[in-house]
A and B are shown apart, each in its own frame.
Chain A
């Protein structure tokens, strides 16, 4: 939409900002289980970063550089979330029962891994996909 030629500084900075925002969103996503954050927040923040890029660089440019199909992203997210539930179901536990344990990983030290993280990843993907779909369908609608 806003696509003026004379905003050089803005364009340079927005790239940096977008990278920072995406990084921060990923941090929020991972810290979700133990600190404020999680799939919803991380997903929405990622969506905002992509949207900001769209605002600055225009629809066609970003569509080339970020060729995601957001509908697929939503489906994958939903399937992922449902899938974690089914695993525990097959194992004889109630649907969507989550498991966690602590592992000793090189470089990271002791890390807690939970199946809830996979579930949250599903949430993340779906939220990004849905938020982008909502806005892009309108923006791309020419008629």
Chain B
């Protein structure tokens, strides 16, 4: 399972990076989203998958899944949400100011 997951994570990462190489700022935005997914999954996979019950003590299971990566990922998801929201608003404002979503056109070549 972990090996297959790792392969999928690699694919997610590769596509995310590829999208971030794009000229279009919207694709970059989607790329960052995918990148965060891949990072979340990597954290989960590292600890081993499907080992024991969910980390809820009232289940009274013999072994539980590692709760620490989950806490880390939860934090990461929320922070990533904040960042994504900020970047999307930035994209929106950039388009308003420059009337372009092409990163090549937005280079600050004017005052150099």
Contact = CB atoms under 8 A, between A and B. Distances in A.
Direct contact of A and B (CB under 8 A): yes
B96 A127 contact: no
A134 B81 CA distance: 10
A35 interface: yes
Contacts of B81: 131
Contact of A40 (B54, B74, B89): B74
B85 interface: yes
A127 B89 contact: no
A134 B89 contact: yes
A36 B58 CA distance: 11
Given A40-B74, A40-B78, A127-B78, A134 B85 contact: yes
A143 B97 CA distance: 11
A7 interface: no
Nearest to B75: A40
Contacts, number: 20
B78 A143 contact: no
Contact of A130 (B74, B82, B96): B82
Interface of A: 34-36, 40, 127, 130-131, 134, 137-138, 141, 143
A138 B89 contact: yes
B78 A35 contact: no
A127 to B, nearest CB: 7
B18 to A, nearest CB: 27
B21 interface: no
A132 to B, nearest CB: 11
A139 to B, nearest CB: 11
B104 interface: no
A25 B85 CA distance: 22
Nearest to B92: A138
